[in-house]
Amino acid sequence: MYPEIHFLLNDREIRISEHPAVLVLDYLRGSERLVGVKEGCREGDCGACTVLVGELSGEQVVYKPVTSCLMPVGELYGKHLVTIEGLNMPHLSPVQQAIVDEGATQCGFCTPGIVVSLTGYLMEDHQEITKEGVKKYLSGHLCRCTGYRSLKQSVDHFKKTLDNNKGIGFLVANKMIPAYFREIPARLRRIPEISMRKEENTPDFFIAGGTDIYLQKNELLPESRICVLNGQPEMKGVFKKNGYLHIGALTTFEEFAQHTGIIRIIPYIREYMFQIASLQIRNRATLGGNIINASPIGDMTILLLALESLLVFKDGERSRTVPITSFYKGYKQLDKTSTEILTEILIPEPVSGVLINFEKVSKRKCLDVASVNSAMKVRCEDGIIRDIGLAMGGVAPVPLFLKATCQHFLGKQVSGELIEDAFPIIQKEISPIGDVRGSACYKRLLARQLCIAHFTKIFPEKVKVRDFYGTH
Ligand SMILES: Cc1cc2nc3c(=O)[nH]c(=O)nc-3n(C[C@H](O)[C@H](O)[C@H](O)COP(=O)(O)OP(=O)(O)OC[C@H]3O[C@@H](n4cnc5c(N)ncnc54)[C@H](O)[C@@H]3O)c2cc1C
Ligand code: FES
Ligand code: FES
């Protein structure tokens, strides 16, 4: 018998006893026959399986769109799961009406997921409905037949009725979402907290956001002993202590990018997110999962590497801290035992004047993994580089910290010449191979170009792209 999972599904209270690794998508379509949740790619790419997951946050419930094809049912405890069926009313909702009015559906396969995501957008407490907001919520949806123009135009319809809305209360009062949403906070509070977490002592697998492990081990998980890490609230959140920003390993990409403490040190972090996965994936993907999956092109890993973060591991009562710069020993070889859990990532609090830039080149501008990615942090005093961290992905078997290149820059004045002198050092440090994302030669070129991009963006008054025309 598996531990009971007690949650709300649309307007119903549910208690199930399933293997915790069963996918929410399979549970919904197989056991509940809620087939409005479509199965497309099963890889988080198409968005057809999108559902809303609501969690108590103070007095309110905050809803986020996620792909149900990469989420374990074990994580539903104490949450509100909303499918397209749970948005049904005797009349059309504003999102459904906008889709009808704009002719934004043909075969309709993608439509339920899109309605769910855009409803999630309207349920946010925001001052204004924007084109950017609609685009962000559509980012994880593929539509094969209608295209996106008519969907983007739906923003004008929402604006007419919904600008300055006050979120869920307003939508319920105006019959734009079903009335049962009003009772959800109280109903969730009645679910006892006590069994929020029951885990295997010696699991075969840990699951955090599931956005990587379900692609790698999908067949094995429902037959294995697993530990769903997301039941551990102490591994979430961001706070300052002893000169470090402490970031729980379960912090998702989106939570990281929206946190004011993070925005203060990485001002463009929200812009970078447009190049990283889709909203539904960023709502699930954790920083810890990105570091441990050890992909040489993990975007957050590269950023945290440039920031020279520290990793805190726990194994029962034992705890140890490892610099991320020495964590990767070879392709998918880590300085970590199989029972250790990454609990926290510590970013040294930058002294004032630290500037950070992130660059990513991929085949598609959005929703694609990198051919090469790179991040740089740098601090100058009186024009002299006093601190620098440069990391690159896709150029070695591991996410790479360019130690020798950093050494070259330290103690020197920023100039075009200094950067050009760094190119041969970079080429010596990297060892890219050719693959579907580009030839080794192309990646070597990108390494050079991304170094130029960092400096020209961070020091536009000192170096310009044209300084490097014709140099190789
Ligand atoms: C459609 C799609 C698009 C994507 N786009 C991008 C992208 O643009 N950029 C990018 O970098 N990645 C991308 N990814 C990859 C993935 O989302 C990230 O690597 C993510 O950070 C993985 O985190 P997770 O929490 O989902 O990990 P999981 O899948 O839960 O776990 C990954 C591995 O880490 C282990 N693990 C996780 N957390 C811990 C912990 N705290 N302690 C010990 N072990 C742990 C798990 O056991 C597993 O082996 C994409 C994935 C999908 C499906
Ligand atoms: S089925 Fe395609 S994202 Fe889930
Ligand atoms: S309407 Fe057919 S896939 Fe979008």
Task: Return the CATH number of 359-468, one of 3.30.70.270, 1.20.1260.10, 3.30.390.50, 3.40.50.12780.
Answer: 3.30.390.50
Residues near 34 by beta carbon (within 8 Å), at least 6 away in sequence:
28, 83, 85
Q: Phi/psi of residue 74, each to 5°?
A: -55, -20
Residue 318: Cβ within 10 Å count: 10
The Cβ-side half-sphere exposure at 48, using a 13 Å CA radius, reads 17
Helix, strand, or coil here: 455? Answer: helix
Angle at 212 between CA 37 and CA 435, to 5 degrees: 115
Q: How far is the CA of 45 from the centre of ligand 2 (A)?
A: 6
Establish whether residue 375 lines the binding site of ligand 1, counting it when its CB lies within 6 angstroms of any ligand atom.
no
Short-list 196, 312, 294, CA closest to 249: 312
3 state SS of 99: helix
For residue 46, give the ligand nearest its CA. Answer: 2
Pocket test for ligand 1, best of 49, 68, 211 (most atoms within 8 A of CB): 211
Q: Give the Å distance between the CA of 72 and the centre of ligand 2.
A: 14
Q: Mean pLDDT per 10-residue run, the chain (472 residues)?
A: 93 96 97 98 97 95 98 96 98 93 93 96 84 90 90 81 78 94 97 62 90 93 91 88 95 96 94 95 98 97 98 95 98 95 94 93 86 97 95 98 98 96 98 95 97 96 84 59
Q: Answer whether 357 contacts ligand 1 (Cβ < 6 A).
A: no
The rounded distance, in Å, linking the Cα atoms of 231 and 221 is 18
The residues of the chain that CATH labels 3.10.20.30 are 5-189
Position 167 scores a pLDDT of: 82
- Cα(319)–Cα(361) distance, integer angstroms: 37
**Cα–ligand 1 centroid distance for 291 (angstroms):** 8
Q: Which ligand is nearest to the CA of 296?
A: 1
* Residue 251, CA distances (Å) to 166, 197, 233, 234, 285 in order: 26, 18, 10, 10, 8
pLDDT at 358: 98
Q: In what order do the strands lie in the sheet with 400-401?
A: 354-361, 372-381, 384-393, 400-401
Q: How far is CA 248 from the centre of its chain?
A: 14
Q: Is the CB of 109 under 6 A from ligand 3?
A: yes
Find the radius of gyration of the CA atoms of the chain.
23
The helix (run of H) or strand (run of E) holding residue 436 is: none
146 lines ligand 3 (CB under 6 A): yes
For the CA atoms of 9, 11, 15, 16, the dihedral, rounded to the nearest 10 degrees, stands at: -30
CA 279 – ligand 2 centroid, Å: 13
CATH 3.30.465.10 in the chain is located at 231-348
**Region for 367 from its dihedrals, namely left if φ exceeds 0, alpha if ψ lies in -120 to 50, beta otherwise:** left
Nearest Cα neighbor of 37 from 59, 52, 20, 58 is: 52
Q: What is the pLDDT of residue 155?
A: 77
Could you report the per-residue pLDDT of 159-177, keeping only the tens digit for each?
A: 777 767 668 998 999 899 9
Q: Cα 293–298–299 angle (5° rounding)? A: 145
Q: Is the CB of 145 under 6 A from ligand 3?
A: yes
Substitution site in 256, 290, 339 for ligand 1 pocket (most atoms within 8 Å of beta carbon):
290
**3-state SS assignment for residue 28:** helix
Fold of the CATH domain 5-189: Ubiquitin-like (UB roll) (3.10.20)
Where does 10-48 show beta strands of DSSP type E? 12-16
What are phi and psi for residue 82, nearest 5 degrees?
-120, 125
What is this structure's pTM? 0.96
Instruction: Please give the CATH topology (third level) of the domain spanning 231-348.
Output: 3.30.465
Residue 63 CA to residue 430 CA, distance in Å, equals: 43
In angstroms, what CA-CA distances link 44 with 33, 223, 259, 304, 463? Answer: 21, 22, 24, 24, 40
**Residue 402, Cα to own-chain centre: how many angstroms?**
25
> Rounded to whole angstroms, how far apart are CA atoms 135 and 287?
24
Atom of ligand 1 nearest to the CA of 275: 8
Q: Mind listing the pLDDT tens digit for each residue in 31-78?
A: 999 999 999 999 999 999 999 999 999 999 999 999 999 999 999 999
CA dist 138 and 394 (Å) reads 28
First-to-last C-alpha distance (Å) of the chain: 64
Distance from the alpha carbon of residue 228 to the mean position of ligand 2, in angstroms = 21
Index of the ligand 3 atom closest to the CA of residue 105: 1
